């Protein structure tokens, strides 16, 4: 993972050194094409990678400087703000979205129920991040966000960074393990503004 905006983090695990291997990538594509049968409830368009994920997969999340720069440039263009440009929304709505894990599960075996789907997707942030100190069931795949606003303040630059980071983590960190929440349509821009407020607002339990 290459960090450009913030300090570099050392690689924490012994992933093998990699070089892009076109023959192997072709084998992967062939195996995938043969492993997900079409049918009711199957959306095979989800198997298609964009250029960013292609690079990250082949380089095992360890892109060269040049590849990382290309990803940052591309993903910065994949950025959208809410209509009206308000990046700080309602932290109480954000609190619900941060915790909700619902949505986007497909297939014939155990797809999300349509009636629940109407409520939209959750952000599923607790899968990977701590936030409200009272929530113990917080994952550790991402860094803790407890005290986020208290530590960084709520200046315009922090608000903009936070919103944009959630919308598209790879605009800041090439091959970040964090899903591109906005770019991939998991949450809508207005919802990301709500989550941003949840992280930044002094009233939010995140900062108590």
Partner 1 sequence: MRCMIPGLAICLSLAAPAALAEASVAEYRAALADKDANPGSLIIEKGEMLFKTKRGAKAETLEKCDFGLGAGKLKGAAAQMPRYFKDTDRVQDVESRLVSCMVRLQGFDEAEIKKKLYADQRFNEDNTPLEAMAAYVYAQSDGMALNPPKKHPKEKEAVKLGEALFWHRYGPMDFSCATCHAEDGKRVRLQALVNHYNKKDIQATVSTWPTYRVSHGAMRNMQHRMWDCHWQMRLPDIDYGSPAAVAIIAFQADQARGVKFDLPGMKR
Site string for partner 1, 140-179 (x = CB under 8 A): xx-----------------------------------xxx
- Residues within window 106-125 making contact with ligand HEC, judged by CB under 6 A: 123-125
User: CA-based diameter of the chain, in Å?
Assistant: 54
CB-neighbour burial class of residue 9 (10 A; exposed 0-12, middle 13-18, buried 19+): exposed
C-beta closer to ligand HEC: residue 38 or 137: 137
Q: Is 82 in the site for partner 1 (CB under 8 A)?
A: no
Nearer to partner 1, 107 or 155 (CB): 107
Residue 189's nearest CA partner among 106, 127, 120 is: 120
| Half-sphere CA count of 135, side-chain side, radius 13 A | 23
Closest CB 118 distance from partner 1, rounded Å: 18
**Residue number with CB closer to partner 1 (53 or 158):** 53
The footprint of ligand HEC on residues 167-206 (CB under 6 A) is: 169, 173, 176-179, 181, 195
Q: Which is nearer to ligand HEC, 6 or 38 (CB)?
A: 6
For ligand HEC, which is the closer residue by CB, 41 or 101?
101
CA count, 13 A, side-chain hemisphere, 189: 12
Q: Does 166 bind ligand HEC (CB under 6 A)?
A: yes
For 37, counting Cβ atoms within 10 Å of its Cβ (0-12 exposed, 13-18 middle, 19+ buried), the class is: exposed
Q: Give the dihedral sign, CA 105/108/112/115.
A: positive
φ, ψ of residue 131 in degrees (nearest 5): -145, -85
* Beta carbons within 8 Å of 111's beta carbon, 6+ residues apart: 41, 105
Residues of this chain that interact with ligand HEC (CB under 6 A) are 123-125, 127-129, 141-143, 145, 162, 165-166, 169, 173, 176-179, 181, 195
What residue ranges bind partner 1 (CB under 8 A)?
12-15, 21, 24-25, 27-28, 30-32, 34-37, 41-44, 46-49, 53, 56-57, 60-61, 104-110, 126-128, 136-141, 177-180, 184-186
């Amino acid at each position: 993972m290459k960090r450009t905006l913030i300090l570099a983090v050392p690689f924490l695990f012994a992933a093998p050194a990699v070089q892009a291997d076109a023959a192997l990538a072709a084998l992967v594509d062939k195996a995938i094409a043969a492993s997900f049968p079409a049918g009711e409830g199957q959306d095979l368009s989800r198997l298609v990678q964009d250029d960013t994920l292609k690079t990250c997969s082949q380089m095992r999340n360890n892109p060269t400087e040049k590849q990382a720069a290309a990803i940052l440039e591309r993903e910065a263009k994949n950025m959208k703000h809410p209509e009206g440009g308000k990046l700080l929304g309602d932290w109480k709505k954000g609190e619900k979205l941060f915790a909700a894990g619902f949505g986007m599960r497909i297939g014939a075996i155990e797809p999300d129920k349509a009636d629940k789907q109407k409520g939209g997707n959750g952000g599923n942030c607790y899968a990977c991040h701590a936030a409200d100190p009272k929530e113990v069931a917080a994952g550790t795949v991402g860094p803790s966000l407890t005290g986020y606003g208290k530590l960084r303040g709520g200046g315009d630059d922090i608000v903009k960074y936070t919103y944009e980071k959630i919308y598209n983590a790879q605009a800041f960190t090439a091959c970040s393990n964090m899903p591109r929440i906005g770019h991939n349509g998991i949450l809508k821009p207005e919802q990301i503004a709500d989550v941003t407020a949840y992280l930044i607002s002094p009233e939010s339990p995140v900062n108590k």
